[in-house]
Amino acid sequence: MRARRPTVEVLGGFRTVPGTDALVVALGRVCDVRASDPSVVTPDARLALSSDAHRLDAAVRSRDRDGVPVAVVVGPHDDERVLASRVDVVVRMGTAEPASAGDPADALRFPHPAVDTSEHPPVGPLVRARWRRRLALDGDLAVVVGFPQPTPLRAESVPAALAVCAAAAVRGPQVLVALALATPVVTDAATAAWLGATDGDDVAVARTASDAREAARVLARDDRTAARLGAAGRRLAERVHDSGRAARDLLDRLGVRRADEQPGPHLADRLTELGSRAAGPVVLRAYERAGPFVALAGDAR
C-alpha cells in the first residue's frame, strides 16, 4: 500500500498575491490540495493565500484544538511580524529581495518566477549530441524562442527542442524551462535581471535580438563554454527558482510528513529518454545504485 499523501487545505481571499497559482500547483505535486470545507476530514495543514483569506482567523483559533498548522502568503503591504506571531509559517513570494534583519526567522521564500526542476531533468551535452545524431539534426543546432524570427516550433514542441539543441536564444517564460534543462542560454538584459542571472556566469546576455541569435549560433559551436553555461543555468534554476523544492520545504516547516518519493517506477522511463543502451554499463550502474529504493517502491504497490 502506498503511503498516504498529506492534505493541505487552501484558504482563498479577495486579494491575489502574484505567484500563488504556481505555489498551489507545486503543492499539488507533493500533497493533496483542496478548498476549505469544514464538513470534510481535518487536513494536515492549512495555507492562506493572502492575509485577508476567508476563515484564516478561524483556522488560527482552532490550531490549538485540532493541531493543524497554518501558513499564510504575505503581500507587499502586510506586516510580516504581526502575521508571524499568529501562524506557523509566513510565505514570501519572489526571489530578488534578500531577507532583512526584521523579517520573521521562519519566513519561507517561494520563487516567483518559478519552475519545477523535477519536471524538466537536466540534459547534458553528450546526451544532447546523441539525440541530435539520432534525429538527423545539425550537430551545432541552435534554437530561438521568444525573440523575433523564432525557430518555427509548435508550443508543445519547445521543451523538446530546448532539450536537444546545442544552445538557445530564449526570453519569456520558456527561459525557466531552458535553465532547468541545462540548455546553454543566450538572453537579453531584462530577462537576465528577471532571473537574477549573471552575464557570463549563468547565461550569455546579448543587446539585440539579432545579436542573441548570432550569439546562440556561436555558443552552439563552443562546446566548453556551452557545457559550463548549461550546468550553471541548471544550478541557478535549482537554487533560486525551484518551486518543487520550495513546496517540499513548506511542508517540512509545517511539520507535515509527506509520502517518500521513490525513483523505482520512473527509473526505466528516464533511462530510455536519455537513450541509454539496454543492459549497458550506465543502466546497470543506475539500477545498482537505486536497487534498495526500487525494491521499496515495488513493495509499496
Residue 61 lies in a domain: yes
Residue 63 lies in a domain: yes
Are 38 and 88 members of one domain?
yes
Are 102 and 128 members of one domain?
no
Q: What is the DSSP letter of 207?
A: S
Contact (CB, 8 A) for 74 and 80? yes
Q: Which of 127-131, 251-255, 263-267 has the lowest mean pLDDT?
A: 263-267
Confidence of residue 290 (pLDDT cuts 50, 70, 90): low
Are 131 and 217 members of one domain?
yes
- pLDDT in the model for residue 198: 97
- Residue 300 confidence (pLDDT) above 50: no
- pLDDT in the model for residue 5: 84
Are 248 and 106 members of one domain?
yes
- Residue 161 confidence (pLDDT) above 90: yes
Confidence of residue 280 (pLDDT cuts 50, 70, 90): confident
Are 11 and 83 members of one domain?
yes
Confidence of residue 94 (pLDDT cuts 50, 70, 90): confident
- Residue 102 confidence (pLDDT) above 60: no
**In which residue are the cell numbers 493541531 written?**
67
Are 101 and 247 members of one domain?
yes
What's 63's domain CATH number? 3.40.50
Give the DSSP H/E element, type plus range, for residue 142: strand 142-145
Strands 142-145 and 167-170: parallel
Are 87 and 134 members of one domain?
no
> Nearest-CA neighbor of 71 among 61, 83, 62?
83
Domain count of the fold of the chain = 3
| 208 Ramachandran zone, left/alpha/beta (phi>0; psi -120 to 50) | beta
What does each C-alpha distance from 133 to 48, 139, 218, 283 come to in angstroms? 50, 7, 19, 21
Range of the domain at 286: 264-300
Q: By percentage, how much of the chain surpasses pLDDT 90? A: 66
Q: Mean pLDDT over residues 174-180, rounded?
A: 98
Whole-number average pLDDT of the chain = 87
Contact (CB, 8 A) for 230 and 183? yes
Residue 158 lies in a domain: yes
Confidence of residue 99 (pLDDT cuts 50, 70, 90): very low
- Residue 2 confidence (pLDDT) above 50: no
Are 21 and 105 members of one domain?
yes
- By CB neighbour count within 10 A (0-12 exposed, 13-18 middle, 19+ buried), where does 44 fall? buried
Q: Mean pLDDT over residues 92-112, rounded?
A: 68
Q: Mean pLDDT over residues 181-207, rounded?
A: 97
Residue 1 lies in a domain: no
Confidence of residue 81 (pLDDT cuts 50, 70, 90): confident
Q: Three-state SS for 282?
A: helix
> Nearest-CA neighbor of 128 among 169, 184, 172?
184
Q: Mean pLDDT over residues 140-145, rounded?
A: 98
Q: Mean pLDDT over residues 144-163, rounded?
A: 97
Are 129 and 230 members of one domain?
yes
Distance CA 224, CA 203 (A): 14
Residue 258 lies in a domain: no
Positions of E strands within the chain:
7-11, 32-35, 45-48, 70-74, 89-93, 108-110, 142-145, 167-170, 185-187, 204-205
Distance CA 295, CA 262 (A): 10
- pLDDT in the model for residue 270: 67
Residue 36 lies in a domain: yes
Are 102 and 134 members of one domain?
no
Q: Mean pLDDT over residues 94-100, rounded?
A: 57
Residue 185 phi, psi (nearest 5):
-110, 135
Q: In this structure, what C-alpha cell is assigned to residue 25?
A: 500547483
- Residue 98 confidence (pLDDT) above 50: no
Q: In this structure, what C-alpha cell is assigned to residue 23?
A: 505555489
Residue 170 phi, psi (nearest 5):
-135, 140
- Residue 279 confidence (pLDDT) above 90: no
- pLDDT in the model for residue 258: 67
Q: Mean pLDDT over residues 121-136, rounded?
A: 96
Q: Three-state SS for 67?
A: coil
Residue 222 lies in a domain: yes
| Chain CA centroid to CA 156, Å | 18
- Residue 67 confidence (pLDDT) above 60: yes
Contact (CB, 8 A) for 154 and 143? no
What's 145's domain CATH number? 3.40.50.2000
Are 15 and 96 members of one domain?
yes
Q: Which of 89-98, 197-206, 207-216, 235-244 has the lowest mean pLDDT?
A: 89-98
Are 46 and 137 members of one domain?
no
CA angle at 121 for the pair 20 and 30, rounded to the nearest 5°: 40
Contact (CB, 8 A) for 229 and 203? yes
Residue 169 lies in a domain: yes
- Residue 214 confidence (pLDDT) above 90: yes
In sequence order, which residues have a C-beta less than 8 Å from that of residue 113 and are 6 or more positions away? 19, 95, 173, 176, 194, 195, 241
Max mean pLDDT among 39-48, 96-105, 276-285 falls in 39-48
